[in-house]
Amino acid sequence: MLENIDKSIGSKDSGWQEYSVELAAAALDELDDKAWGELTKSIKGKPKYWRVRCAEALYESESKRCMELLAQLLLLDEEKEVAVVAACAIEDSGYELTPEYKPRIEWLLSRISQSCETSYEDVERLLRRFKPS
């Protein structure tokens, strides 16, 4: 089952456009519970480009388990680009995060250039969801 995800995400040099995102999202929606478990365990070992593309597809899918995996990527992924895609998707979807995410979102916001306006504004809005301590 994960072969369909790999195929739709493609290689680092393959084209990636809206249609590709939709194909990858459809492949994610078709995963059974066993394959989903394999994805959540293996995603951290995938290359950065793959995780970024997967995060975009997870957002397109918008299922609860996709949002949960995006939250995991936001919290645990070491690559800023992956965490930014996850944060922007979570902000846009309205998915609720627990307070444990606040320090990570603050960290992320401190590492995004304000010249990347859309991403910066999305992450800033996500941070504002948390009430001041």
User: Stretch 91-117: mean pLDDT, rounded?
Assistant: 90
**pTM of the complete model beyond 0.85:** yes
pLDDT digits (tens, 9 = 90+) for 7-34: 999 999 998 999 999 999 999 999 999 9
- Judge contact between 27 and 4, C-beta under 8 A: yes
pLDDT, residue 132, reads 67
- Judge contact between 67 and 27, C-beta under 8 A: no
Judge whether residue 48 has pLDDT over 90.
yes
pLDDT band at 133 (very low <50, low <70, confident <90, very high): low
